[in-house]
Each structure stands twice: as structure tokens, then as C-alpha cells.
With several copies, the nearest count.
Chain A
Amino acid sequence: MVESAKPVPPIWCPGCGDFGVLAALKKAALEQKVAPYDLVLVGGIGCSGSIHNFLEVNGIHALHGRLLAQAVGVKLANPGLTVVAAGGDGDGYAIGMGHFIHAFKKNASIVYVAMNNETYGLTKGQPSPTSQIGFEGNIERPFDAILTALSIPAPNLIARTFSGDPKTMIAVLGEAIKFTREGRGFAFIEDLSPCVTYNDTYKLWREKVLDVSKVPGYDPTDRQAMFKICLDTMDQGRIPIGVMHRPKETAPEGLEAKLLGTALGPARSDISIEPNLASYQKLLAALS
């Protein structure tokens, strides 16, 4: 057996919510029988973004905020890979906001786990786009990624989990991996992953989370209804968790499927001259 990069021990503070994501991801990948060499974990920059170092998988440490652009590139170039992007709320919703919104629209079949701790952990606790008013002087209303995700008309899987609830996490992550492996498009999971050092919300969140599937009228195929359920839940001071959108569409709607059908794609094409010679000569002959 060839020796390959070994995982290093997590660099997180003891008790950090990110441990939950790591454990759940390990479990879900195993349950979904993804070979480690077929799984690509794209990490952001932040405490959360180092997650790929702690697993025996292909890992690419992207630039701050660019993990989704890189992840989409990976998937389109080799649709055979299972691609999971994971990073922080600062990474995803501040510097990465443009790519975040466009990821729903592009709808490539990748999983994105945004590890939301309502702060910038690695740079020591500044407010992030999801921070509450008053946190470290924050005066802007917190961004709600689920509401915005629901506003983008594309057949994405949308969910929120909580690191204090590993069972749901594993189930949702498993569903998301499966969803993307079926080529059905973008699967977004916001995981509430407390930063015990700068913003310890474990207790608060445990009290506040509310599983939307328990709310009367729950129908994850109906954007408009879910938008209302989420807003109402938030108005009651609770945080909705669970699957917020599970598209009706079951066909492989993923961008890579639309672009490539069943072709192998750029990474696995034979690019030597011989097999392509006829096509090349045709192209060149068309020059006038």
C-alpha cells in the first residue's frame, strides 16, 4: 500500500462545534460508501476551513471566500468525484457571498457545509454577517442564509443542522452526499457550529433550535411555505433547523450533468493528439 498524506490532529479548541461536523462527515461518507480517494474536501480559510486536514481524503485548502468557486471547478472538471466544500460563515457569507449566491444558481452537484458560529473564529472573534446585533459592537441585522437560499429559484437541497445534534447532522449530510452523487445539484447545509472561545452559543442554541419538520404544514418542496415557516419560527425567537428545501425534481439537474451528460469530462479526457486528430484538423480547416 502506498503511503499518502496522513490526517493531522484537529487544531480546534476543545469543545469547538467543528468537531461535530468532522465526526458527522466521517460517518456520513462512510455510510454513503464514498472511497476516500473519490472524495474531495474543499476547505475555506478559517478555523472551520482546516477540516480537510483531519480526514483521509483529497483535500484542497482554497483561498478565503473562494472555496465554492474551486469546488465547482473540481466538479465540472471531474464529475466522478464527490465534492464537499466546508468553511466558515465569514468565508461563505462575507467575502464569499457572491460565489455563495451563484452556487445555488449554477447548481453544480456539490455539498456545501457552512459552519456558522456567528463570528470570525480564526481572526479572534470579530462579528461576521450572521452575528447578532450587539455582538462585538455589531449594528447590522444578521444575515439568514436559509431565507436567502430559499429565494433563489433552482432545485437545490437546503438544510440547517446543529453540531449539538449529531444524529440529524449525519442524516442530513448523508442525504446531501447522496443528492450530489445522483447529480441532482447543489446541496447547502448550514451547520450551527458554536465557537466556544469567542461566541459560545451552545446553550442558547440548544434551547432555540426548532425542527421544522415538526411544524404543521411542513412541505420541503414548497419554497413559499418554507419561507413562511422559517420567518414565523424566527419571529418566535427560535432557530429553524432541518431540511428546508428538497426539490421535487429527481432527474440529474446538476450543472455538470447538463454540460457533460455522461461524458467523462475534462479531467478524464484523453488529450493526446492521436485520438483527437480528426476533430482538430476539422477545426483548423474551418479557418478561412
Chain B
Amino acid sequence: MPPLADVSVMIGGQGGDGTLTVSDLLGRYFRKRGLYVYTSRNVLSRIRGGHADASVRASRDPIAAQKSTVDVLVAFDQEAITIGASELAPHGYILYDSTAFKSDLPNATGFPFATLVGGALGQPIFKNTAAYGALSVVFGFDPAETRAVIEERFKRRGGEALEKNLKALEIGRKAALEAAGLADRYSVADGDAHDLVMTTGNQAVALGFVVGGGRFFAGYPITPATEIMEYLQRYLPPLGGVVRQAEDELAAVNMIIGASYTGARVMTSTSGPGLSLMTEGIGHAGTAELPIVVADCARVGPSTGQPTRHEQSDLSHLANLGHGEFPRFIVAPGTPVDCFEMTVDALNLAERWRVPVLLLLDQALCQNTTTSPRFDVQRVHVDRGERLTGDAVAQLTQYKAYQFTESGRSAYAPPGTPGVWAEITGNEHDEWGHVSVNPTNRVRMMRKRMEKMVKARDELPAARLFGPADAKVGIIGFGSTFGPIREAQTVLEARGKPTRFLQARTLFPVPVHEIEPFLKSVDVAYVVEHNYTGQFARLLRETMPAQHAKLRSVLKYDGSNFRAPEIIAAIPEVA
């Protein structure tokens, strides 16, 4: 077989079998070889036991999605075969742990990994590293580099852990080398992607928050958002920032509201259930004009749903959440770099316009790891809007926290500014912040707040366009669908079927000025999203009804994320 330019390995087993470690080790090896890498997982909402799998993909081209076929499947349990076999490529092969079960499949070899390692090391749990060893033989990895990966990965834990893993590696290698016909069964072409980092959306958001000047974070654990809080617990304190795990999401959002009142840059992160609980608080921030950023790491809903699985079904809620009407911006990054940069944007927009900014992510973007260009601090600009210092205040004759202005933005002097006091409320209020039921004032205040969504238009993250301008088939997507859509485009391009892709990065207010011209330029536009009702398509239909006939929905809501071929198959014009 010729070297693979795009390889995918799936590792399945029971929770606790260490499948994630295998994909991580493989990922590290492939990166050393200059490949783009994407790792993903499919786990249950339980700590141990139950089937879970991890996948790693490596390619000479940039990727941010799973491959639709699996080249090699590693099975620690029978279920891994049931699930994985259907995805196996025709040339694919299965390595399984014959300690656990036997398989009659022709393209499968069993190794008693657990027994072998258990016997030699006393602890069968190192069977995962043994499997990595066997894989290294199957793929003909360089032995020294294979080993180096183990050393890097376990150096922090050091000592015994490192030693045992190195031994397990050799056990796995030896077994595979002894098995007939397995060595060098496949080879993987080296790539030339270097100076990339391997990161998740959650980590990128945390870094963006810090660099964007975020200094106060309160949250509550929830899958798949928890890592944002955990990263910030490491990053922020050395910078004089504060991270608190609150008693619940109501406390979290209200704590950041209190902190925002003092002028700090703030964020919380959560997923669906927590987001629903934050509804009242987000509306309060909108009315009181206190800048907050809420990151929603969407998972499968509704209700407790499927905590560990992927979906993009919170958009309608975000766009409409809260009784009454208040402005909000919904921005949706599609890549780790987006996550980093748009978290900064979110902080700037929130503070300039004194609105809640909702950063919409999804499980795949949050938790899967992607090779990404390094984040560039030079591109970061901190814009605090009309923030008043004590000196600036001293020049004023009046200070009104809700002053009507031409720009639509009121200057803000946080508490502690000598000579003035901020009177802030979620009741309807006049410019001074005094509660008011005056109908004329009410109308003006509503307009002041709501028009932010019009006036800020050109400051909101711009959509990105990919593909030839004259392509007649359009694709619209946001969030992690960026990866599979781009991949689909590449495949189609190669087949001589050009498409044009609009990656929406601001979802609300709907960027009509970007999307309408796009819709006009194509004959048909496929809106790709992970939900049942076609939530973004619905927003497009509402705001651009004249274009509705061109809109088609490509939907998936089974808990897994799109792969490129699924998108291609859903577009009859090019499929």
C-alpha cells in the first residue's frame, strides 16, 4: 500500500481502559512527523465502565473533523468492534485485546495486552501503552521517536510511571513484531506542518480571556465547559485575577455581574442546563448595561440531554432568551484561533457597548484537539470603550451612567471613582439610574438599548468566505462545522464542483449585510447545523424573508459531529 496521506485510528474500550491516552500518544507522534492532527472522543457521562472511544486523525492537509473511515481500530472491548467495524475502511485492520474477548474477523489480530502487561508489570492498566506499541509497529513508526513520545508524555509524572509505560511499549512492540504480517502494514507520509500547537477550543477561550484582559471568572462545573474554568484557575491568579467556582450558575452569573459593575472584565462559561439557569441574570446585565461575556459550550439538549455529546441547539435560546427585550451579541468561533481572538472581541464588544456577549461554542470545538497556528498576542487590542477615570470625571459637570448619546454608548465610571456614584438597576430607569415609569423615558431607554444591535454592526466579528466568488452552491455554517465544511469544499473542488462557504462568526444580530449579498450571489444555500429545527436557517428566514427560497437545511442531531462526506451527500447539486 502507498503511504497514507490521511490516517485515522479509533480506539474503543470501557471507560478506564485508557483509550484517550492511546489517541494522545498517536497524536503526539504524528505531530512530530509534521502532520495536522485532530483527536476526538465519544464518552459516556460516567466515570468508569461503559463503552467509550477516542479517535485520532492525522493528515498532510489542515483538518478539523473526523475522517469518515477508520484505518486501524483498536478494540479493548467487544462493543468497540460492533461500533467501529462499520466505519472501517476496506483496507482497514483491527487490533484487539484478546484478554477481553475473541474475534473471528479475518482482518483482525488479537493480542492479550492486559495479560501480557499484567504479568510483566503487575498492572494490566498499562495495556493501552502496549497497544500504542503494537500500533507503532503496524504503522512502521520510528522506534526512537515512538519512545520519545512516551518520555515526553510521562516525564511530569516521572519515575515508576514513566518506566512502566516504557516497558509496556516494548511489550506491545514485541508482540506485534512477532505476529505474522503486521509489521509495516501501513505507512504514513510525513508532513510539513510545523510550529503548530495542539489545543482545544476551551483552552483557546481561556487564553483569549486572559490576554483580552479578563480578570474575573465565576463558573460551575458542567461538561463540556469545565475545562475553561480549570485552565483559568491556573492562568489567572498569578495575574491578580480571580476565579471562583460558585455554588450554582445563578450565583456564577450574578457574581460576574457584580464584578462587572466594578469595571472588571468578566466571563462565565457553562453548557445548556447552566445557560438556562442564567437566563434571568443575562437579561439583568442587558438592562442594567453591565458588560458580561457568557461562553456556552453547547452539548446535546434538551434538559440534561447527553452531557458528553455534540450539538448546536442553543442558538434559538440565546437569540431570544429572557423575558422582555434587550440587546445581545452572539459570536461563534469556528477554530481555536477564532476562539482565542473572538474571546478578546467579546470582551471588547461587551465593554464598549455595555451588553452581554454570548460566545457560542459546541462540544466538538470545545473538547476535540486540533493542530492550530500559534495565537498571536500582537493581534490583540484591548478597547475599553468610554471608560471614565477619576481625572476624566473631574472634567465633567454631570455624570449619568445611562446618558443618552449620539453614539449610543454611555461612558461609565466604576464605583470607587472619586466624586461620582454609579446608580445601576435592572428596573427601567432614567439616565441617572433612577427607577422610572415615565412612558417617554421608557421608549427612549428601550431604543437606546436595542439600537446597540444596529450601531455596533461594523464592529462585530465579520463572516469569512471560502471558495470561488462565482460558485453557485452556497454553504453557511458556524462553530465546529467549519472543519468538515472546509474539508468537503476541498474534496468538491478537486472534483470540479466549486462551492462557496460563508462561515458566520456573528450570529446575532443576524449579519444581514453579510449574508444577504452572499445569498444573492448563489442559487442555493445549505445551512449546515447540529440541531433539529434549523435554528440559524430560521433566523435567516426571519430576517431575510425575500431570500427564503434559496435556503436548505443540512441537519444532524444524533450526538455526533459532521464528517465531510455527510455534508457532500446532503447537497444534491454536487453530491
Contacts and interface: CB of A to CB of B under 8 A. Distances in A.
Interface of A: 1-6, 8, 11-14, 35-38, 40, 42, 45, 47, 50, 52-53, 56-66, 69-78, 80-81, 90, 94-95, 97-99, 102, 120-124, 126-127, 129, 137, 197, 259-260, 263-269, 271-273, 276-277, 279-281, 283-284, 287-288
Interface in B226-285: 226, 233, 235, 237-242, 244-252, 254-266, 273, 280-281, 284
A281 B252 CA distance: 29
Contacts of A11: 44, 46, 49-50
Nearest to A61: B425
B241 A73 contact: no
23 contacts: A2-B398, A3-B399, A5-B422, A5-B432, A6-B432, A52-B423, A59-B433, A73-B216, A73-B260, A73-B262, A74-B415, A77-B216, A95-B247, A95-B248, A98-B248, A260-B240, A265-B242, A266-B215, A266-B259, A267-B416, A269-B241, A277-B377, A280-B210
Contacts of A66: 250-251, 254, 281, 284
A98 B221 contact: no
Contacts of A265: 215, 240, 242, 264
A14 to B, nearest CB: 7
B120 interface: no
B533 interface: no
Contacts of A64: 273, 304
A2 B240 contact: no
Given A53-B435, A122-B47, A127-B245, A267 B422 contact: no
B444 interface: no
A63 B255 contact: no
A66 B449 CA distance: 23
A99 B249 CA distance: 11
A271 B266 CA distance: 12
Interface residue range, chain B: 35 or more
A71 B394 CA distance: 27
Given A74-B258, A78-B414, A267-B259, 6 more contacts: A60-B424, A61-B288, A64-B304, A73-B258, A78-B415, A127-B245
B197 interface: yes
A98 B251 contact: yes
A65 B240 CA distance: 29
Contacts of B416: 37-38, 58, 78, 80-81, 267-268
Interface of B: 16, 44-50, 197-199, 203, 207, 210-211, 213, 215-216, 218, 220-223, 226, 233, 235, 237-242, 244-252, 254-266, 273, 280-281, 284, 288, 303-304, 374-375, 377, 380-382, 393-394, 396-401, 414-427, 432-435
Nearest to B402: A5
B304 A40 contact: no
Contacts of B235: 283
Contacts of B207: 283-284, 287
A283 B420 contact: no
A283 B234 CA distance: 10
Nearest to A137: B233
B251 A102 contact: yes
B380 A273 contact: yes
Contacts of B251: 66, 69, 98-99, 102
A1 B218 CA distance: 37
Nearest to A47: B47
A4 B255 CA distance: 26
Nearest to B197: A287
B226 A271 contact: no
A69 B246 contact: yes
